[in-house]
Amino acid sequence: MYQWETLYKIARKVEEPLKMEAASYANEQKCANLHQEKLNEVSEVLESEDFNSKDVFFIGVYERNEPKFAELMVQKFRCHFDALCFLSNVMEEGSHRDALVRKLYSDLIRKPKEKPLSLSDVKIYSSHYEQLLQNKRCFVVFNHIGDNIDDIKPALQVVRENLKNRSLVVFASRFQHVLQKVVKIDKLISLLSLDDDRGIVPICYGNERYINEAFFDQLQETFSMVGVDFHLESKERFFIDSTSLQNSEVVLCIVSKSFSISEFEGILSRMFDVEGESPNGFEPISPLIGRPVASPSKI
């Protein structure tokens, strides 16, 4: 319990500067230009040989703030598909696995003005509904995906196994690691400019053998709870390339038997051109703790 409370306090402290940074990118014109640029990118994907060679294509939309781009995709590309299922908030709807699958079938196969399918219908006639799905070109959106997709796996299985005819499935999330490593997409559309990458928190660690696996799980759950996206990187990676540190608003390190405070300070020192001065607006306030460097978490 003490460890969770400590992690939660750190996550909240990390969240504050990220919110401030995100606000600076709220310019409406910039957002509109970025959205149009990315819609053009999606258009190119839909015309590509890679897309047209597959039964179903999976696009991940990474948006750190309130997900809006998936809705724009629906407005622009809905006319190219036979049926649409828009799951507006998977984190809420996904808590009821069967209801999510029912909505998926109901939206994709029922005719206009027909009543939504019942849960019992889906269970009894699932094989028939699967055949109907395979005859359509479908557009499915999983919006607001959280860091845990266990509850939506039945729905994911339906689309992966049954959608055909160059169907499109979109996953929208503020957690990039979920899109790239968990749901396994074909194409990532990132709604972040290079400067916006400062909102992703790098967490530096030593040898995994000296860190309890449960700690990594608890770390992910806690940071996800406050909506902070992070990337775990080994110290060896940072020794080779510290670019991600320089481009980040906040940096964390996990101190363990294989990674000392002095080693972390050594990595940080590579970011400074002249002792006492820092590039890119970095202002150290202690040998270890500073902005953008948050306090390390000791195991």
Query: Beta strand 230-234 with 283-284: parallel, antiparallel or unpaired?
Result: unpaired
Average pLDDT of the chain, as a whole number: 78
Give span(s): CATH 3.40.50.300, the chain: 28-190
Count of beta carbons in the 10 Å neighbourhood of residue 25? 17
Q: What is the pLDDT at residue 22?
A: 53
pLDDT number for residue 225: 64
Reported as a single tens digit per residue, the pLDDT across 65-124 is 677 899 999 999 999 999 999 998 887 765 677 888 999 999 999 887 888 888 888 888
What integer pLDDT is reported at residue 141 of this predicted model?
97
Host H or E run for residue 284:
strand 283-284
- What's residue 199's pLDDT? 61
Candidate ranges 2-6, 61-65, 92-96, 156-160; pick with highest mean pLDDT: 156-160
**pLDDT tens-place string over residues 107-134:** 999 887 888 888 888 888 889 999 999 9
Per the CB < 8 A criterion, the answer to whether 198 and 248 are in contact is yes
Residue 195 has pLDDT above 70, yes or no: no
> In this predicted model, what pLDDT tens digit does every residue of 224-268 receive, in sequence order?
666 677 778 788 877 777 666 666 667 788 888 888 878 877 777
- Give the pLDDT confidence score for residue 18 in this predicted structure: 63
CB environment 231-257: b (16+ within 10 A), e (fewer): ebbebeebeeebebbbbbbbbbbbbbe
**Top-confidence residue, 285 or 163:** 163
- What would you report as the CA-atom Rg of the chain, rounded to the nearest whole angstrom? 22
Cα(245)–Cα(243) distance, integer angstroms: 5
- Determine the pLDDT at residue 276: 45
Rounded to 5 degrees, φ, ψ at 228 are -105, 125
Query: Given the DSSP bridges, would you call strands 230-234 and 201-205 parallel, antiparallel or unpaired?
Result: parallel
pLDDT band (50, 70, 90) for residue 42 = very high
pLDDT at 246: 66
Instruction: Please report which confidence band the pLDDT of residue 21 belongs to, taking 50, 70 and 90 as the band edges.
Output: low
Greatest mean pLDDT among 37-51, 199-213, 222-236 lies in 37-51
Higher pLDDT, 278 or 132: 132
Architecture of domain 28-190: 3-Layer(aba) Sandwich (3.40)
Render 127-145 in DSSP notation, one character per residue: HHHHHHHHTSEEEEEEEEE
Mean of the pLDDT values across residues 281-286?
40
Res. 20: pLDDT tops 60:
no
Give the amino acid at 126.
S
Q: Which residue has the tokens 């995709």?
A: 73
Quote the CA–CA distance of 189 and 284 in Å, as a whole number: 34
Contacts for 241 with CB less than 8 Å, ≥ 6 apart: none
The band of 2, judged by pLDDT with boundaries at 50, 70 and 90, is: very low
Integer Cα distance of 38 and 35 in angstroms: 5
In CATH, the number for domain 2-24+196-298 is 3.40.50
Alpha carbon dihedral 120, 121, 125, 129, in 10-degree steps, equals -130
- Inter-CA distances, 272 with 238, 285, 287, Å: 14, 14, 13
